[in-house]
Amino acid sequence: MSRQGSVTVVGIGPGAYEDMTIRATRVLAGSDVIVGYTGYVDLVRAYFPGKEFLTTPMKREVDRCVMAFEEAEKGRKVAMICSGDAGVYGMAGLICQVGQDYPEVSVSVVPGVTAAIGGAAVLGAPLTHDFAVISLSDLLTPWEKIEARLLAAAQADFCIALYNPASKKRRDYLQRACELLLTYRSPETVCGTVTNIGRTGETAKIYTLAELAEVQVDMFTTVFVGNSQTQVLDGRMVTPRGYKI
């Protein structure tokens, strides 16, 4: 009787091997095959020699999930890797959806360090209070809905982490987002960016919201917008929680 296969969705963190959780490394080490987007597989390939790797390019996410389940149906332990956390703009939800067609395959999820958390640590402590995470990519979400979420988060004085702030086809999306945020936020609101979190070339910069509107970023950048209490302390972006000191 063949053993039952499984699919485990694994968040590998922002990029560096050291930022992966112990549980994530154990699952990858114990897997028969590792499946993922080509760029993410390249981040882990050297640390798991001898493993079989299967990849698909961007915009082939459903195919990637089907590939994972087909391997699991052979009785194999499959790890589907995602950058950051598998449940934050990752593959966990899609795996659960596609998994409805593969009831004999067990599915589990291993959390990872998402870019908001990894980038916040680089900047200092910008997310110590309530915060919202919003993706500016309108590939799967209409811009009108993104706009409504930006305005709501700004009005409610949330700290905000912005994912996917720009791309070759969306060069002005961060500028558009800043214009919306300025509806409710002061131009002096403390903001920050972190590029290549946990990877070679990691850089962090602090701006005002007015300055941020003029900054050019890419898909490897995570943007942080402070709330009305956010400060710059010794070069660090810090949002106080309200303790009396």
The proportion of the chain whose per-residue pLDDT surpasses 70, expressed as a percent, equals 99
Measured in residues, the chain has a length of: 245
Q: What is the pLDDT of residue 154?
A: 98
Sheet holding 124-125, edge to edge: 124-125, 236-238, 231-233
Average pLDDT of the residues in 107-129: 97
Q: What is the pLDDT of residue 59?
A: 84
The proportion of the chain whose per-residue pLDDT surpasses 90, expressed as a percent, equals 89
Residue 21, pLDDT > 70, answer yes
Confidence category of residue 218, pLDDT binned at 50, 70, 90: very high
Residue 226, pLDDT > 90, answer yes
How does pLDDT run across 157-185, given as a tens digit for each residue?
999 999 999 988 888 999 999 999 999 99
How does pLDDT run across 30-52, given as a tens digit for each residue?
999 999 999 999 999 999 999 99
Confidence category of residue 1, pLDDT binned at 50, 70, 90: very low
Residue 143, pLDDT > 80, answer yes
Amino acid at 72: A
Query: At a CB cut-off of 8 Å and minimum separation 6, what does 207 contact?
Result: 191, 192, 193, 215
Name which of 149-158, 163-172, 235-244 the model is least confident about. Answer: 163-172
Q: What is the pLDDT of residue 144?
A: 97
Q: What is the pLDDT of residue 26?
A: 97
By DSSP bridging, strand 159-163 and strand 221-225 are antiparallel
Average pLDDT of the residues in 115-128: 97
Structure tokens at 11: 């968040």
Q: Residue 8: name the closest of 88, 101, 87, 89 by CA.
A: 87
Residue 90, pLDDT > 70, answer yes
- Burial zone of 12 (CB within 10 Å; 0-12 exposed, 13-18 middle, 19+ buried): buried
How does pLDDT run across 71-87, given as a tens digit for each residue?
999 999 999 999 999 99
Residue 2, pLDDT > 80, answer no
Average pLDDT of the residues in 201-211: 97
Does the model's pTM come out above 0.85? yes
